[in-house]
């Protein structure tokens, strides 16, 4: 039996969504140490799954179990093994912007491979597991944590329909930096409609790409190369936060018509309120939200968490607040027994 765990990820945005440039997408994001997904896998003659995650309704429980089974079946097919018994002990909130699908799918895949004493070739097999199609941030942070930037895809490959598996690979990482261990990311997840995923996300992104202006990408390129990458490399918190915040807002201009604003409701209200918290910088929305994040240091983490909770209460919103250091590594094999 093998137990694998992996942390969440934040997706700051893309470098380019305009067909006017040579490279499309190009994800920018950060791996988190917490919260984590934790999966146990054991050799079996068939695929069996059990899900110990707390759920709010029977429909949610069924959906969670079906997702787990689908990922387990893909892992078995890719690895060409008889079967696997998978148990999900903990997971990330689903479809809120923390990379729940990718981290769960890859955790199941890696645990299954290790249960059969196989090397998990995560990056090369991620497309067959259905992950890493646009952004490589989830795959890259699963592999090694850190702050990552990927190269995106050649724009010439873009079509109005998603490419079939086998016609694309996970974009290579062009920059990775380990962020200071005393940084703390504060993540606010309001109780709201989940972010887009699956076919709905595909349709939304492709609609955005067809109309996206290249101007935002031109500015993002300058912010990335002259501000964000130097700040990440040097560990300068305020400069990092300022650059992340600017890139997030520029991405939001592409999505404004699709999601109802630069930030989707109610993330926009959270961002506006959190920007007044002096202990937080780099306020933004992760992926399609509704998760909103900011960054501070360990000395101010408690104050930042209090500000986040006060913001939820002040907006009459229920939700959860997480605080985490940046992930210094990727997935962890927590237990391995014969």
Listed by start position, the domains of the chain span 2-336
Rounded Cα–Cα distance for residues 85 and 215 (Å) = 50
- Mapped onto helix, strand or coil, the DSSP state of residue 135 is coil
Is the pTM higher than 0.85?
yes
pLDDT < 50 regions, the chain:
57-59
Contacts for 330 with CB less than 8 Å, ≥ 6 apart: 6, 31, 141, 142, 143, 144, 145
The pLDDT of residue 197: 65
- Other beta carbons within 10 Å of 51: 19
The pLDDT of residue 58: 46
DSSP state letters, 164-203: PTTS--PPPEEEEEPPPTTEEEEEEEESSPPPP-HHHHHH
DSSP letter for 98, please.
S
Helix 137-144 × helix 100-115 angle, to 10°: 50
Rounded Cα–Cα distance for residues 18 and 212 (Å) = 5
Mean of per-residue pLDDT scores for the chain: 93
The pLDDT of residue 318: 97
Q: Which fold has domain 2-336?
A: Alpha-Beta Plaits (3.30.70)
Rounded Cα–Cα distance for residues 132 and 154 (Å) = 15
């Amino acid at each position: 039996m093998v137990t694998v765990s992996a942390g969440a990820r934040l997706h700051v945005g893309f470098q380019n969504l305009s067909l006017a440039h040579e490279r499309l997408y190009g994800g920018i994001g950060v791996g988190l140490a917490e919260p984590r997904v934790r999966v146990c896998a054991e050799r079996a003659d068939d695929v069996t799954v059990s899900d110990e995650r707390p759920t709010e309704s029977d429909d949610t429980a069924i959906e969670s179990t079906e997702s787990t089974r689908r990922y387990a079946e893909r892992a078995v097919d890719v690895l060409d093994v008889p079967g696997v018994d998978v148990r999900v002990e903990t997971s990330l909130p689903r479809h809120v912007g923390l990379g729940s699908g990718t981290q769960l799918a890859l955790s199941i895949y890696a645990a299954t491979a290790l249960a059969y004493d196989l090397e998990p070739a995560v990056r090369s097999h991620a497309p067959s597991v259905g992950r890493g199609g646009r952004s490589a941030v989830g795959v890259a942070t699963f592999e090694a944590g850190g702050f990552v930037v990927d190269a995106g895809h050649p724009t010439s490959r873009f079509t109005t329909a998603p490419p079939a598996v086998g016609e694309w690979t996970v974009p290579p990482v062009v920059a990775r930096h380990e962020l200071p261990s005393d940084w703390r990311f504060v993540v606010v997840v309001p109780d709201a409609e989940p972010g887009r995923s699956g076919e709905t996300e595909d349709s939304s992104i492709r609609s955005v790409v067809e109309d996206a202006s290249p101007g935002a990408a031109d500015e993002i390129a300058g912010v990335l190369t002259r501000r964000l990458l130097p700040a990440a490399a040097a560990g300068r918190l305020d400069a990092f936060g300022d650059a992340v915040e600017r890139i997030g807002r520029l991405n939001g201009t592409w999505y404004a018509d699709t999601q109802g604003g630069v930030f989707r409701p109610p993330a926009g209200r959270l961002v506006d309120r959190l920007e007044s918290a002096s202990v937080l910088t780099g306020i933004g929305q992760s992926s399609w939200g509704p998760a909103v994040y900011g960054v501070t240091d360990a000395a101010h983490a408690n104050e930042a968490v209090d500000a986040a909770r006060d913001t939820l209460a002040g907006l009459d919103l229920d939700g959860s607040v997480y605080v985490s250091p940046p992930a210094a590594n990727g997935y962890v094999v927590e237990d391995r027994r014969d």
